[in-house]
Copies of this chain bind each other. A is one copy, B any other.
Amino acid sequence: MARLEFWFEYASSYSYPATFAVGEACRAAGVELVWKPFILGPIFAAQGWNTSPFNLYPAKGKYMVRDLERICEKAGLPFRLDPDMNWPQFSIAAARIGLIGAREGWVEDFSKRLYALEFGDNLDISKEETLRQALDGVADADRVLAESRKRETKDALRAQVGDAVAAGIFGAPTYRVGDEIFWGGDRLDDALAWAITNTL
């Protein structure tokens, strides 16, 4: 069966609409979807960035906000960035939970809920309260939070970032099919076509 990896970051605004699109698109195309939550912080730091390109390059940052407004409007998703908050948010706690969700099969529900809280309601996703809200009805929050703080989970996220770097991934969202990577939410169709053509 054709197989597509979806590499996404909870702090990444472009990962938000992509997360809402990828599951249905893969199911419709009959392509197996592997959720790969990771964090970009260490990857950006290695190339000399101490924050997101949104902040580093003002013209690009201004464009990205407008572009996301258009993309989200088209997808029927709310989008706002409270100017009194710091963007991007700290996503490491969320990524550790996402890893557990990917292993246990509830990552899609959790991720959609968390992104909606982040970019729809502008809640702080580094707070336990927000993470619990996203887990509500999805998984046992007490158990998952405890597990997310274990050494094994932290190591697993570190390993996931290492895998991203080894795969040549430098931004999010990124679709990966075999050794081919496709960067940017708008490349989903290309990635799916590649998955289907190269699996037959």
Contacts and interface: CB of A to CB of B under 8 A. Distances in A.
Interface string A166-200: 00111100000000111110110010000000000
Nearest to A62: B168
The interface centre, meaning the residue of A63, A169, A183, A187 with most chain B CB atoms within 10 A of its CB, is A63
Interface string A34-69: 000000000000010000000011011011001100
Contact of A186 (B56, B63, B169, B187): B187
A186 B186 CA distance: 8
Interface of A: 47, 56-57, 59-60, 62-63, 66-67, 70, 165, 168-171, 180-184, 186-187, 190
Given A47-B57, A57-B47, A63 B168 contact: yes
Nearest to A194: B70
A60 B170 contact: yes
A180 to B, nearest CB: 8
A67 B190 CA distance: 11
A65 to B, nearest CB: 11
A57 B171 CA distance: 11
A67 B169 contact: no
Nearest to A64: B183
Contacts of A180: 66, 70
Contacts of A56: 47
A67 B170 contact: no
B59 A170 contact: yes
A72 to B, nearest CB: 13
A67 B183 contact: yes
Nearest to A169: B59
